[in-house]
Amino acid sequence: MKGAIYFFCVVVLLFLVSCKTNNKETYKTLQGVVFGTEYNIQIDSHIDFSKQIDSVFKAVDRAANTYDKNSQISVLNRTGVYKDPSPTFVDMLKKAQYYYNQSNGYFNPAIYPLISEWKNGFENRAEIDTSKVVQLLKLTDFKNNISIEKNLIKTTETGVEIDLSALGEGYTIDAIASILNKSGVKNYMIELGGEMYAKGNNPRGKIWLIGIEKPSSTTSMSERAVINTVYLNDVGLSTSGSYRKFYSDSLGNKHSHIVDPKTGFPVSHHLLSASIKSKASTEADALATACMAMGLNKAKQFIEDKLAIEGFLIFSENDSLKVWSSNKFLQE
C-alpha cells in the first residue's frame, strides 16, 4: 500500500529463524505478499490463524487500496462521497484524523494530490508549476475537508483526495495483534513492509531484537548495514525514511523526497530516517511519517513531549550520518 506514499520503511529482523523454544513449542511462520509488500508472521501457537489474518488483509485492502479503482478510498477520491462505508474504512479515517491532530498536521493523508504533483519534480523543481502547488495546498485540510459519519464519508471540497497508506500497515498489524492477543498467544512477531510488532520471546527464547538499517543508496541486500538495534516486547516499531530515495543539493547535503504538508514544497531539512516505538503500531506508523515531515529539531521536541512513544532519528550533517535517540528507545 505504501507504493503511493513518499517514504520507505525498512527494518531488519535479526533472529528470524524457525526453531523450537525452551518449552518445545514450535513456532508457525506465515509468509507472503500483500499490499505490494512482503509480510512475515511468527506465532508461538498450534492454532491456525491464516484465515483470520487473511480476512484482515482483505478488509484493509477493500477499504484503502488506492491502486484498486473499486476500493472505498478510490471511489471517495473519484466521486467525493462513499455511502455505507465498512467499519474498517471508518476506523482508519478516524484514526488518521486523530493523528493528524496529534501531530499538528504533519501527518496528513490529504496531501495525496501534492505527492502526485511532486512525484518526478524533486530534482527538477523548475518543471513544477508553483501556482498549482499553492492551489493543491488549499485542499489538504484533513480535519475540515473530510466528513466522517457511520453511514457516509464525503469530502467538502472538490479535488480533495486522500491516501491512508502511511498508517495502513501499522493498522493491519494492530488488527492481527488483537486477534492473537484475544486467543491468548504470548509470543509472536508481525512484520509487514518493514513495520514490526513483537511480543514475548523469539524462537530462541529471547526478546525480539530488531536492527534499524543505515540509510544507503544501495539496493543490494548484501551491501546494506544495520546502524543500531532495538528490543521489542509488546511494542510496535515503525521506521520512515528515504533510505534509497534522496537527492543532494549544490552543497552536497542529502535531502529526503518528502513534501512538507505545511508549505506544499519539498522539505529542506537533513533528516533521513525516523523510527518510532509505540504500544500501537498504527501510532508508530503515523508518527514516524509525521517526524519525517517535521525535520530534526521539531521531531526531537515532538518525541520528547509525547510520553507514549520513543524515537530514533538518523540525519545528515556535513556529509556524514549522525543519530539521536530518546532516553528509553534502546532499552530492553
Q: Any bridge partners for residue 230, and if so which?
A: 210
For residue range 249-299, list pLDDT tens digits in order: 566 655 567 889 999 988 888 898 999 999 999 999 999 999 999 999 999
Per DSSP bridges, beta strands 208-213 and 11-13 are: antiparallel
Question: Does 289 appear as a known binding residue?
Answer: yes
pLDDT at 225: 78
pLDDT at 258: 84
pLDDT at 285: 97
pLDDT at 254: 58
The owner of cell 545528515 is 316
Residue from 321, 236, 211 nearest 271 by CA: 321
Contacts of 278 (CB under 8 A, 6+ apart): 235, 236, 238, 284, 287, 308, 309, 310
Residues of the chain with pLDDT under 70: 1-25, 120-127, 216-224, 242-256
User: What is the third-level CATH fold of 2-325?
Assistant: T-fold (3.10.520)
The Cα-based distances of 73 to 141, 153, 164, 247, 288 in angstroms read 17, 10, 8, 31, 22
Domain ranges of the chain: 2-325
Contacts of 96 (CB under 8 A, 6+ apart): 107, 109, 142, 162, 164, 167, 286
Question: What's the whole-model pTM score?
Answer: 0.88
pLDDT at 16: 39
pLDDT at 53: 98
d(CA 185, CA 208): 15
